[in-house]
């Protein structure tokens, strides 16, 4: 069959464009984890929307629900959207394939329009609030998250988080949602500024070139299989992050200068050396960032939030404990999973397979324990500043429950760490956490009704689950093949 | 007689429904350089990974320094060096930090030798791993594999990403190592000219089986190209026993044979009333003939 033909059928431009748009849409809808995410959010969003149609309609009580409905999709979906868009546009094919850009940019603009404008416009009449305030809210959370994810910088994301958390205060709810009629000019200005920034992001995506700092594609990190080019790109992203931060550079170099010579053959020395392969800086330093987050969030929630004013101590402590549990727990397995391609080389270091895996597990769990301790000291500071009286028994019980549930989360994250797909690891470990953390919350809600024996049983059960999961994870790593 | 450094017996490896290795038998004697050749997907990397205990064989045995490859002792691993096809390391670390990190695991790390290699190959010690080019990273991978001066070096396409100058320097270092000490090397590559410079023995892999295992000189003696020039046009039924490939054009024919024998040539001369010229082949030509011949 001839590869070329003179009988070329000329298709109208608009028809070609429509066909291309359809194909671009397919690249989004064929993402399995997009559907899982949408189902997950659907489960949360739909009941919230229905609640806002009931007795809370057009009332201040309905405002927190609306804040959640508008805010959460922005924070959760925008980084995913940026990742997928970059995987398509921060690529040589975007420059070399004819007519590549129009269809891709139209789809991107359509998705942004849906999130930033259509969703608030749809939700506003249902909940009975002014649409402009909700659109401004969506813009104020979504657009900084868009640019923050794009540039891989934390400062714009901080703006998004600040706006989102302002919705936990009564003045924040009033300003954005309940009394938005009084701030029409400012909200209109925020919407206009948001449109300019969102459009400029699309423009930037259409102009990406390899020499640019933001020409980075981290999307494939989510998935099991990567090409060598994608691996190179991910290497560069990490190196760029270190290069951009003088603090990270300085601390990292100081830490690595303490590597020393031969580890000496002992287990402790081995764990110390292997810890260098987990992160660019020691956990005692990188953990300070999370301690600062815990302090900021804790002080804000206990001193200024609606929850504090309504006497919702349990809810606040639950949230902070959850933060202090999940992060150290998840870290153990995730850092090991990200190290997997390098462990394929380290398996040939002069260590037995058992020695290497045991020491890697010890290094990961040690890091998690240090971070857990740091975050719980910060939690203690927050509670002390709040001036709430807590009995010694309550504090001891909280620490025991928190420690045992963290051990269970560590076990769950280590158990899924041999899986190559990051998306699969996150989905399964988050589900596991939803099952493991309720005993802690149940105790906090009804601690007066739970006696010491029941508490001890819960602690014992969570510890047993954690130890079983860690042992199972160890077996999986010992039998792992490095394809 | 010395125990082979690597002994593979009846190795089979299956991924899902795909049988990648089908009953491989192989031995690498101490002090030899064995070149591993094969088309893409022929199972070279799988064989190497099974030999190093990175993959578990579906059936069969692999012994390295007399130990089961899946459960190698620390002492055996201290005698092993491996350069993978795709070198991975810690992107946030500087090259000198990665060298120090790796050195920390070896009791007998040769710092002076590593320094010499880094100077010779212009390794950018202060650069971060993440910012290196693929070729530079490959060079770092080679330095890391040689730093403890292993007795058995396994190279899986180590020079694929190197420029010609760096490749030449690497081969020079390899030859120096071979002269200085009894180094055993398993060298997989597509660059056959490199193998011809360093390998004494070759193994050719095809469809998951060893198609040839022996001395390189023996292979060159066995695989030849015969050029027939007959008095009359050759018939369509023209054939040579054991031919890998046969092309006939009128009174001329070109035939590649896998088991060259002077008696066969004499017999053919008489049968077809033809002049026959015998051409030697280089390793690349032999590989192409054997690979294409298997798929005719």
Which of A256, A350, A351, A481 has the highest number of chain B CBs within 10 A, making it the mutation to test binding with B? Answer: A350
Q: Which domain holds residue B263?
A: 224-280
B123 and B27 co-located in one domain: yes
Residue B136 to residues A100, B86, B122, Cα–Cα distance (Å): 34, 12, 9
CA A389 to chain centre: 33
| B88 neighbourhood in chain A, CB within 8 Å | 231, 341-342, 344-345
A483/B55 CB distance under 8 A: yes
Is residue A477's pLDDT more than 90? yes
Tell me whether A250 touches chain B (CB under 8 Å).
no
Residue B148, Cβ density class (10 Å: 0-12 exposed, 13-18 middle, ≥19 buried): buried
Note whether residue B285 is domain-resident.
Answer: no
Query: How large a percentage of chain A has pLDDT more than 70?
Result: 92
Strands laid side by side in the B59-64 sheet: B18-28, B6-15, B59-64, B67-68
B214 and B229 co-located in one domain: no
CA nearest neighbour of A398 among A464, A447, A332, A330: A447
Q: How far is B202 from chain A (nearest CA, A)?
A: 25
B140 and B229 co-located in one domain: no
Number of domains in chain B: 2
Helix axes A353-386, A283-303, angle to 10 degrees: 30
List the Cα angle A82/A120/A87 in 5-degree steps. Answer: 10
Strands laid side by side in the B252-257 sheet: B243-249, B252-257, B224-230, B274-279
| Residue that is written with structure tokens 């999307």 in the block | A219
B105/A237 CB distance under 8 A: no
Note whether residue B292 is domain-resident.
Answer: no
Write the DSSP symbol of residue B94.
Answer: B
B130/A353 CB distance under 8 A: no
B74/A348 CB distance under 8 A: no
Phi first, then psi, for residue B68 (nearest 5°) are -60, 130
- pLDDT digit string (tens) for B26-81? 999 998 999 999 988 899 999 999 999 999 999 999 999 999 999 999 999 999 99
- pLDDT of A3: 42
Within a 10 A sphere around the Cβ of A17, how many other Cβ atoms? 15
* ipTM for this prediction: 0.86
Q: How far is B261 from chain A (nearest CA, A)?
A: 43
B103 and B191 co-located in one domain: yes
Residue B204 in contact with residue B216, Cβ under 8 Å?
no
Phi first, then psi, for residue B8 (nearest 5°) are -115, 130
Token output for B179: 């002269």
Tell me whether A475 touches chain B (CB under 8 Å).
no
B159 and B200 co-located in one domain: yes
| A263 neighbourhood in chain B, CB within 8 Å | 104-105
Q: How far is B78 from chain A (nearest CA, A)?
A: 5
Q: How far is A36 from chain B (nearest CA, A)?
A: 27
Cα separation of A451 and B61, whole Å?
A: 58
B205 and B232 co-located in one domain: no
Q: Which of B200, B219, B238 corresponds to the end of one domain? A: B219
Token output for A125: 């009449």
Mean of the per-residue pLDDT values of chain B: 90
Whether the CA torsion A403, A407, A410, A416 is positive or negative: it is negative
B128 and B265 co-located in one domain: no
B156 and B251 co-located in one domain: no
Half-sphere exposure of B167 (CA within 13 A, CB side): 16
B52/A236 CB distance under 8 A: no
Is residue A223's pLDDT more than 60? no
Note whether residue B10 is domain-resident.
Answer: yes
Cα separation of A225 and A341, whole Å?
A: 11
Note whether residue B56 is domain-resident.
Answer: yes
CATH of the domain at B86: 3.40.50.300
| B97 neighbourhood in chain A, CB within 8 Å | 253, 256, 259
Cα separation of A12 and A6, whole Å?
A: 18
Whether the CA torsion A439, A441, A445, A448 is positive or negative: it is positive
B197 and B61 co-located in one domain: yes
B149 and B238 co-located in one domain: no
| A350 neighbourhood in chain B, CB within 8 Å | 74-75, 77-78, 105-107, 148
Cα separation of B153 and A406, whole Å?
A: 44
- pLDDT of B118: 95
B130 and B209 co-located in one domain: yes
Count chain A–chain B contacts defined by CB atoms under 8 A.
119
Note whether residue B152 is domain-resident.
Answer: yes
In three-state secondary structure terms, B159 is: coil
Within a 10 A sphere around the Cβ of A258, how many other Cβ atoms? 9
Window 312-351 of A: residues touching B by CB (8 A cutoff) are 341-342, 344-345, 347-351
Note whether residue B153 is domain-resident.
Answer: yes
- pLDDT digit string (tens) for B122-147? 999 999 998 898 889 999 999 999 99
With CA atoms as reference, the chain B residue closest to A234 would be B130
| B49 neighbourhood in chain A, CB within 8 Å | 482-483
Note whether residue B287 is domain-resident.
Answer: no
- pLDDT of B293: 66
Residue A205 in contact with residue A89, Cβ under 8 Å?
yes
Note whether residue B82 is domain-resident.
Answer: yes
B205 and B261 co-located in one domain: no
pLDDT greater at residue A447 or residue A266: A266
């Amino acid at each position: 069959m001839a590869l070329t033909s003179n009988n070329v059928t000329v298709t109208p431009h608009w028809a070609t464009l429509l066909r291309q748009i359809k194909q671009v849409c397919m690249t989004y809808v064929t993402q399995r984890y997009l559907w899982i995410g949408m189902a997950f959010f659907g489960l949360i969003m739909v009941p919230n929307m229905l609640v806002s149609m009931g007795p809370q309609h057009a009332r201040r009580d309905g405002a927190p629900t609306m804040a959640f409905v508008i805010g959460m999709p922005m924070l959760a979906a925008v980084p995913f959207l940026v990742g997928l868009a970059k995987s398509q546009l921060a690529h040589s094919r975007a420059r070399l394939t004819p007519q590549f850009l129009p269809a891709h940019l139209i789809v991107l603009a359509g998705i942004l329009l849906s999130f930033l404008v259509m969703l608030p416009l749809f939700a506003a009449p249902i909940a009975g609030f002014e649409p402009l305030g909700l659109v401004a809210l969506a813009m104020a959370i979504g657009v900084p998250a868009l640019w923050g994810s794009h540039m891989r910088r934390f400062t714009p994301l901080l703006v998004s988080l600040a706006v989102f958390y302002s919705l936990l205060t009564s003045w924040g709810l009033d300003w954005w949602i309940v009394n938005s009629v009084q701030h029409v000019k400012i909200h209109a200005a925020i919407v206009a500024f948001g449109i300019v920034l969102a459009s400029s992001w699309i423009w930037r995506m259409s102009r990406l070139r390899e020499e640019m700092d933001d020409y980075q594609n981290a999307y494939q990190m989510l998935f099991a299989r990567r090409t060598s080019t994608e691996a190179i790109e991910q290497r560069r992203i990490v190196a760029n992050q270190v290069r951009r931060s003088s603090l990270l550079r300085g601390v990292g170099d100081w830490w690595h200068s303490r590597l020393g010579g031969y580890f000496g053959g002992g287990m402790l020395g081995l764990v110390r050396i292997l810890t260098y392969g987990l992160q660019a800086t020691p956990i005692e330093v990188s953990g300070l960032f999370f301690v600062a987050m815990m302090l900021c969030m804790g002080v804000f929630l206990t001193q200024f939030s609606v929850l504090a004013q309504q006497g919702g101590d349990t809810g606040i402590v639950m949230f902070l404990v959850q933060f202090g549990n999940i992060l150290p727990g998840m870290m153990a397995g995730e850092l090991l999973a990200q190290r997997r391609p390098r462990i394929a080389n380290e398996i040939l270091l002069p260590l037995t397979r058992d020695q290497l895996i045991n020491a890697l597990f010890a290094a990961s769990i040690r890091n998690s324990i240090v971070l857990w301790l740091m975050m719980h000291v910060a939690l203690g500071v927050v509670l002390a500043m709040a001036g709430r009286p807590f009995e010694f028994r309550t504090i001891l019980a909280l620490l025991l429950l928190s420690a045992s549930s963290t051990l269970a989360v560590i076990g769950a994250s280590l158990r899924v760490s041999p899986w190559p797909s990051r998306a699969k690891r996150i989905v399964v470990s988050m589900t596991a956490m939803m099952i493991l953390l309720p005993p802690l919350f149940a105790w906090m809600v009804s601690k007066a009704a739970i006696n010491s024996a029941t508490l001890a049983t819960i602690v014992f059960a969570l510890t047993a689950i954690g130890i079983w999961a860690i042992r199972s994870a160890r077996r999986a790593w010992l039998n792992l093949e490095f394809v | 007689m010395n125990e082979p450094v690597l002994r593979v017996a009846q190795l089979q490896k299956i991924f899902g429904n795909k049988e990648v290795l089908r009953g491989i038998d192989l031995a690498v004697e101490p002090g030899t350089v064995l070149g591993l050749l094969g088309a893409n997907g022929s199972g070279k990397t799988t064989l190497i990974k099974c030999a190093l205990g990175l993959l578990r064989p579906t059936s069969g045995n692999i012994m390295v320094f007399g130990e089961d490859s899946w459960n190698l002792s620390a002492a055996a691993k201290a005698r092993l060096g491996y350069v993978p096809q795709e070198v991975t390391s810690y992107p946030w670390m500087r090259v000198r930090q990665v060298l120090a990190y790796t050195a920390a695991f070896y009791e007998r790390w040769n710092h002076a030798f590593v320094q010499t290699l880094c100077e010779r190959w212009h390794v950018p010690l202060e650069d971060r791993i993440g910012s290196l080019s693929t070729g530079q990273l490959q060079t770092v991978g080679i330095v890391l594999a040689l730093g403890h001066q292993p007795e058995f070096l396994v190279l899986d396409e180590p020079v694929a990403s190197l420029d010609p100058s760096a490749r030449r320097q690497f081969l020079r270092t390899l030859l120096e190592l071979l002269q200085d000490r009894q180094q055993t090397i398993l060298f997989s590559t597509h660059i056959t000219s490199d193998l011809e410079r360093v390998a004494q023995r070759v193994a050719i892999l095809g469809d998951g089986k060893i198609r040839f295992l022996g001395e390189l000189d023996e292979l060159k003696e066995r695989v030849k190209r015969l050029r027939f020039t007959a008095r009359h046009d050759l018939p369509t039924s023209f054939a040579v026993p054991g031919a890998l490939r046969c092309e006939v054009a009128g009174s001329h024919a070109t035939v590649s044979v896998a088991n060259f024998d002077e008696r066969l040539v004499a017999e053919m001369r008489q049968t077809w009333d033809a002049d026959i010229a015998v051409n030697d082949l280089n390793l690349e030509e032999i590989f192409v003939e054997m690979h294409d011949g298997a798929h005719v």
